[in-house]
Amino acid sequence: MEKIKERLAPIKFPVCILLFSGKRKSGKDYITDRIFDRLGKDNAAMIKISAPIKTHWAEKHDLNFEELMGTGEYKEKHRQDMIKWSEDIRQKDCGYFCQAAVEMFNAHEKPVWIVSDTRRRSDLKWFKENYGNAVKTVRVLADDDVRTQRGWVFTTGIDDAETECDLDGLTDWDWSILNNGSEPELENGMQNIVSWVNSTLSL
Ligand SMILES: Nc1ncnc2c1ncn2[C@@H]1O[C@H](COP(=O)(O)OP(=O)(O)OP(=O)(O)O)[C@@H](O)[C@H]1O
C-alpha cells in the first residue's frame, strides 16, 4: 500500500534549491540543519550528495552506513577509496550521484531542497541544467584556525583533492555566510536566506 501511495505522489518541481558548499569543518552540516529546522520538514528536503555514494559503498563492503555518514575516523578511513570509486562512475555520468540523492531523499515531494555537500562544478552544472533559476548557491566560510578548533587537520590527498578544491575559484555565490563563531553574524546570514525562501514560497 505504501508503495502504491509513493508511486501516486505527484512529482513537484522545486521552488528553490539551496546548494551549500564550503571547506571541511566550515560548518555546512551545522548551518543547513538549522536552516532546515526553520523551514520545516513540510517545506524542505535535506539532500546529501554523498549519501547514495556511501550507501552503495557500505552495501558493497558490508560496512556501517551511519558511521560512514558521520564525522569520525571511520569516514576518513574510507573517504579516499570511496572518492576513487565514485569518480569512475561520475566520469561516465556526471550527474549520477546528484540524481540518485534527489531520489533517495524523496526531494520531489518538497518545494525547497537543501543540498548540504556540493563539492564539484559538475554538481552545480547538473542542478542548474535541470532546475535553472530555482538553483541558488551558498558558500560557507570559516578561517582555518576556527576549522582547526572544530577538529580539522590538513590532510594531503583530501584537502588538496578535487572534492575540496574544485569550487575554490568561484566567487559568484548567491550568498556567502561567515561562520567564524559570531552568532549574530551567522544569524544574519541564515535569516537572509530563510526570508528569501519564505518570500519565494508565498509568491
Ligand atoms: N557556528 C557554530 N557554532 C557552534 N558549533 C559549530 C558552528 N559551526 C560548526 N560547528 C561545529 O563544528 C563541527 C564541524 O561542523 P560541520 O560538521 O557542520 O562542518 P562541515 O563543513 O559539514 O564539515 P565536513 O565537510 O567535514 O563534513 C561540528 O561539531 C559542528 O557542530
pLDDT in tens, 19-69: 999 999 999 999 999 999 999 999 999 999 999 988 888 888 777 777 767
Global confidence as pTM = 0.90
Query: Is 4 contained in some domain?
Result: no
Query: Is 190 contained in some domain?
Result: yes
CA distance 138 to 136: 7
pLDDT band at 137 (very low <50, low <70, confident <90, very high): very high
Query: Is 181 contained in some domain?
Result: yes
Query: Please, where are the H alpha helices in the chain?
Result: 2-8, 28-39, 50-61, 65-69, 73-92, 96-104, 121-131, 144-149, 162-165, 183-201
pLDDT at 3 over 70: no
Q: How many domains is the chain built from?
A: 1
Query: Is 7 contained in some domain?
Result: no
Residue positions forming the annotated binding site for ATP: 23-29, 150
The whole-number pLDDT of residue 125 equals 96
Query: 19: Cβ below 6 Å to ligand 1?
Result: no
CA distance 43 to 112: 6
pLDDT at 120 over 90: yes
User: Can you tell me which atom of ligand 1 is nearest the CA of 140?
Assistant: 21
| Angle formed at CA 57 by CA 16 and CA 93, multiple of 5 degrees | 55
Query: 28: Cβ below 6 Å to ligand 1?
Result: yes
ipTM score here? 0.99
Query: Is 58 contained in some domain?
Result: yes
The whole-number pLDDT of residue 10 equals 56
122 φ, ψ to 5°? -65, -30
Matching residue, cell 500500500: 1
Query: 186: Cβ below 6 Å to ligand 1?
Result: yes
- The CATH number of the domain holding residue 20 is 3.40.50.300
Query: Is 1 contained in some domain?
Result: no
Q: How far apart are the first and last CA of the chain?
A: 35
Domain that holds residue 92: 13-194
pLDDT band at 5 (very low <50, low <70, confident <90, very high): very low
Query: Is 200 contained in some domain?
Result: no
pLDDT at 1 over 50: no
Instruction: Please answer whether residues 173 and 137 qualify as being in contact, where contact means their C-beta atoms are separated by less than 8 angstroms.
Output: yes
Residue positions forming the annotated binding site for substrate: 179
Instruction: Please answer whether residues 30 and 179 qualify as being in contact, where contact means their C-beta atoms are separated by less than 8 angstroms.
Output: yes
CA distance 156 to 167: 18
Note the pLDDT tens digit of each residue in 157-173: 889 988 899 999 999 99
